[in-house]
Amino acid sequence: MNQEVKVVAEPRREIPVAAECDVLVAGGGPAGFGAALAASRTGADTLLIERNGVLGGASTSVLMNAWNCPAEGMTGVAKEVTGKLLETGDAFAGPLVNFDPEALLDLEMEMLLAAGARLLLYTWVAEPLIEAGRVRGAIIQSKSGRQAILAKTVVDTTGDADLAFAAGCPTVKGREEDNKMRPVNTMFRMAGIDIEQLLAYCRERPDQYQQDPSSHMAGAGATVIRPATRTCCASSAVASSRGSSSGVTPCFDCSPLTLTSR
């Protein structure tokens, strides 16, 4: 059934130019952080705009807590960030790297500000500003209202290609053959868990729980069932061995067995 969509005409108005920059980075997830860091380190006047109050995108605000790659396989910004988290004991390395998202968001903020980038948080990048067929900036929306940013180069790292799509660039959503996307999953944290008892419970019920089929990536020393990194390893005897980038020995609470509910 075709339902007619009601429309209204948005009044034409002039809006203030809030800032001008060399490089505007839209979205402060892992991609935006890397782009803004690299741009500002080359000396470009860089402005990163993020709709949330923190950097890191899904890696911090979704509580994603592992990079599915061994530390020695990393290069560039990812290697630098991982090295710093290992140094402070906020990550431990194995076949993958587990990290504390809270520490990551602080670290990314410090690194960007140290590189001289400017940040605008709690601000939506609403639309591209297009002039002579080129994206010359963006219209933003925040508590300060609607404003414009002028930039020589605009990098869309919104994770959803918001700007690229609105600018008319060809984009792909989901799988190319049918546009279907991965099912949503939910990350959460629990505290005060008796891990040993939990693992025993799961092992006794193979009909309800199974080893994660991707645990070949995780292997020994990594798990998705564990308390926060800070409370777990910091309180145990392995605390003294933390800080080594050669791989920290996880305490029992960080130990193997990746379980997923069937």
Ligand X SMILES: Cc1cc2nc3c(=O)[nH]c(=O)nc-3n(C[C@H](O)[C@H](O)[C@H](O)COP(=O)(O)OP(=O)(O)OC[C@H]3O[C@@H](n4cnc5c(N)ncnc54)[C@H](O)[C@@H]3O)c2cc1C
Residue 250 as a binder of ligand X (CB under 6 A): the answer is: no
Query: Is residue 139 near ligand X by the rule CB under 6 A?
Result: no
Q: Which is nearer to ligand X, 56 or 89 (CB)?
A: 56
Q: Candidates 22-30, 104-112, 212-220, 228-236 — which segment interacts with ligand X by CB under 6 A? A: 22-30
Could you tell me the CA-to-CA distances from 18 to 120, 128, 151, 168 in Å, in that order?
11, 15, 11, 24
Structure-block tokens of residue 52: 């949330």
Span interacting with ligand X, options 48-56, 71-79, 84-92, 190-198, rule CB under 6 A: 48-56
185 binds ligand X (CB under 6 A): yes
Mask for 99-138, x = binds ligand X (CB under 6 A): -------------------------xx-------------
Q: Provide the β-strand partners of residue 149.
A: 19, 138
Q: Which helix (H) or strand (E) holds 35?
A: helix 30-41
Buried b (16+ CB within 10 A) or exposed e, 157-171: bbeebbbbebbeeee
How far is Cα of residue 96 from the mean position of the Cα atoms in its chain?
A: 16
If one asks whether residue 223 binds ligand X (CB under 6 A), the answer comes out as no
Q: Residue 50, interface with ligand X (CB under 6 A)?
A: yes
- E strand intervals along 157-252: 209-211
Contact residues: ligand X, CB under 6 A: 26-32, 49-52, 57-59, 62, 64, 66-68, 124-125, 157-160, 162, 185, 187
